[in-house]
């Protein structure tokens, strides 16, 4: 299936979790900027070194670094027929860059999914993950900062994509398979 999708939502809403499941159902690659950054940090690449201090502080990695990385990723052959972007775009500058990438390729987005969840729930999920995986940005002060950065920089993109007629809002509360089913159902009318 050809699908070009964006998944937005606060940290802990289930983006990474659902992106993997949804991408498999749709037969497109999930492109997670967070995962790509973490892999680069683990491999101690130059990109990882640039990203690490921002991630550990709960701040966004600078747009020029993130945009260049996504441009390279979307140029790979497996993304030619579609992709599910998990965690990108997150800023107005990243929206403009994604618009340019799509225009250069003669494509358009099919939908932008906003995954919603209560603040108490997302904090609880991330603290739970901290115990299981020990991610360095899952401490309570950093989680609070990530939520603030989301509210300041990414939440406004929801209105922008709503104005463009692309927004699909999906409730991310409930168990994982239930949310996946909700996503698939909500996206059906938007996919050919």
Residue 88 annotated in ligand binding: yes
Which residues have a catalytic role annotated?
15, 90, 129, 135, 146
Min dist. Cβ of residue 93 to ligand B4P (A): 9
CB 102 within 8 A of CB 46: no
Q: How many residues of this chain bind ligand B4P (CB under 6 A)?
A: 29
CA 164 – CA 65 distance, rounded (Å): 26
Q: Is 88 in the site for ligand B4P (CB under 6 A)?
A: yes
Residue 27 burial (C-beta neighbours within 10 Å; 0-12, 13-18, 19+): exposed
CA 11 – CA 95 distance, rounded (Å): 19
Residue 34 burial (C-beta neighbours within 10 Å; 0-12, 13-18, 19+): buried
Among 50, 71, 129, 190, binds ligand B4P (CB under 6 A): 129
- For the window 25-64, what string marks contact with ligand B4P as x by the rule CB under 6 A? --------xx--x----------------xx--x-xx---
Q: Is 67 in the site for ligand B4P (CB under 6 A)?
A: no
Task: List C-alpha distances in Å: 157 to 132, 135, 145, 184.
Answer: 31, 27, 18, 22
> Which parts are annotated binding residues for ATP?
12-17, 129, 174
Residues of this chain that interact with ligand B4P (CB under 6 A) are 11-17, 33-34, 37, 54-55, 58, 60-61, 66, 87-88, 90, 94, 125-126, 128-129, 137, 146, 175-176, 179
């Amino acid at each position: 299936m050809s699908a070009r999708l964006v998944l937005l939502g606060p940290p802990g809403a289930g983006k990474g979790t659902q992106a993997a499941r949804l991408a498999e159902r749709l037969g497109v690659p999930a492109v997670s900027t967070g995962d790509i950054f973490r892999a680069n940090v683990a491999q101690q690449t130059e990109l990882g070194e640039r990203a690490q201090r921002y991630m550990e502080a709960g701040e966004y990695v600078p747009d020029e670094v993130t945009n260049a990385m996504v441009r390279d990723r979307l140029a790979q052959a497996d993304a030619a027929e579609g992709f599910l972007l998990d965690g990108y775009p997150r800023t107005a500058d990243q929206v403009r860059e994604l618009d340019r990438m799509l225009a250069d390729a003669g494509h358009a987005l099919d939908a932008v999914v906003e995954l919603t969840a209560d603040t108490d729930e997302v904090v609880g999920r991330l603290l739970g993950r901290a115990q299981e995986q020990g991610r360095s940005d899952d401490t309570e002060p950093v989680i609070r900062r990530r939520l603030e950065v989301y509210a300041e920089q990414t939440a406004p993109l929801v209105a922008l994509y709503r104005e463009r007629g692309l927004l699909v809002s999906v409730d991310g509360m409930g168990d994982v398979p239930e949310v996946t089913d909700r996503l698939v159902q909500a996206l059906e009318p938007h996919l050919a």
